[in-house]
Amino acid sequence: MQLAHNVYVIELDPAVLADRRFRVRNPNYVDGMPCVYVGMTGLPVQERFANHRAGYKSNRYVRRYGRRLLPQLYECFNPMPYAAARQMERELADELQEKGYAVWQG
């Protein structure tokens, strides 16, 4: 079993909340909590973040509002097999939303 994939969390600027589509996806957002993007990758996390910022296979919210990686939210899970990373991406996004974060999942 190859442990080659990682989940990651990127902090987004709160200005992302002005985007209607983003707000609608986060009806239980608690004012003042972080806005984040949760994704998974087969690349080193720093490289994937750089690709987002450069516009390569990028999420529009990360490209426009991405601030920094939040390793304290994901490092303990990495690395893992592909299937586990896919599942963890969903679970981590759901868990953060339940805590009041505004979340966009890759």
Residue with tokens 């973040």: 49
Q: Is residue 89 part of a domain?
A: yes
Cα 83-42-12 angle, rounded to 5 deg: 100
pLDDT over 90 at 1, yes or no = no
Q: How far, in Å, are 9, 29, 72, 86 from residue 40 at the CA level?
A: 9, 23, 15, 7
Q: Give the chain's count of helices (H) and strands (E).
A: 4, 4
Inside any domain, residue 38:
yes
CB 61 within 8 A of CB 106: no
In this structure, is residue 60 part of a structural domain? Answer: yes
Residue 54: inside a domain = yes
Give tens-digit pLDDT for 3-62.
899 999 999 999 999 999 999 999 999 999 999 999 999 999 999 999 999 999 999 999
Give residue-wise pLDDT tens across range 87-103: 999 999 999 999 999 99
> pLDDT value at position 60?
95
Looking at the structure of the chain, the number of domains it has is 1
Q: What is the mean pLDDT of the chain?
A: 96
Domain that holds residue 27: 6-105
